[in-house]
Amino acid sequence: MEQEQTVQNGYSVKKEVWEWIKALLMAAVLVILIRWLLFTPFVVEGPSMQPNFYTGERLIVNKLIYDFRAPKRGEVIVFHATEDKDYIKRVIALPGERVRVEGDHVYVNGQLLDEPYIREAVEQARQRGTFYNVRNFPETTVDEGTVFVLGDNRSNSQDSRDIGMIEFNRIVGRADIIFWPLSRLQWIH
């Protein structure tokens, strides 16, 4: 009887270990698939997206969304700027639209763009008697299959004014969540 119980206990321990191994392997496969196909982490580097994103913040980028639709104005995207460097910027103008930057104003198709995400920073600069943006950009039409992007920190950003339009195939995805530091945990609007 005692030997039979040991065999059953030995069998149940082996079975339990095997079940844990299978569960961990399935979890690892899911993490890898989700990481490669759906979402990817991104670390913000540099001041180009301040006051909304800061160096060292970690974001979750939705890689799948642009397989189903084109980027929209105001969305924050991550894209391949070079072979080994990704940038984070905000979509300002879409294919076929005319865009120009004059001081703190951005015009799309001749209409002043409302930019609530930098409104406070622009107002603070005006109170100091300065412009928030000191880099203008002449009116240009956005090419088909591309978007025009700007950093939120307009005077300190390498963006479409410098590197040109961003082709859809260079876009990694849309920044959806700030997940680190925890004090900044939030959905990105």
Using a pLDDT cut of 70, give the percent of the chain over it: 86
pLDDT digits (tens, 9 = 90+) for 133-146: 989 999 999 999 99
Rounded Cα–Cα distance for residues 21 and 139 (Å): 60
Whether the CB-CB separation of 188 and 65 falls below 8 Å is answered with: no
The DSSP-derived string for the chain is -HHHHHHHHHHHHHHHHHHHHHHHHHHHHHHHHIIIIIEEEEE--SSTTTTT--TT-EEEEESSGGGTS---TT-EEEEEEETTEEEEEEEEE-TT-EEEEETTEEEETTEEPP-TTTHHHHHHHHHTTS-S----EEEEEPPTTEEEEE-SSGGG--SHHHH--EEGGGEEEEEEEEEESGGG-EE--
Rounded Cα–Cα distance for residues 92 and 177 (Å): 20
Q: Is-catalytic flag, 89?
A: yes
Count the Cβ atoms, other than its own, within 10 Å of residue 90. Answer: 24
pLDDT digits (tens, 9 = 90+) for 62-109: 998 998 999 999 999 999 998 899 999 999 999 999 999 999 999 999
Going by pLDDT thresholds of 50, 70 and 90, the confidence category of residue 34 is low
Handedness of CA 118, 124, 127, 132 (dihedral sign): negative
pLDDT digits (tens, 9 = 90+) for 176-188: 989 888 888 788 8
Report pLDDT for 15: 78
Catalytic pick from 12, 14, 48, 72?
Answer: 48
Rounded Cα–Cα distance for residues 168 and 47 (Å): 24
Going by pLDDT thresholds of 50, 70 and 90, the confidence category of residue 28 is low
Whether the CB-CB separation of 178 and 57 falls below 8 Å is answered with: yes
pTM summary value: 0.79
DSSP-derived pairing of the beta strands 98-102 and 58-62: unpaired
Q: Is-catalytic flag, 85?
A: no
Catalytic pick from 63, 89, 157, 160?
Answer: 89
Report pLDDT for 29: 60
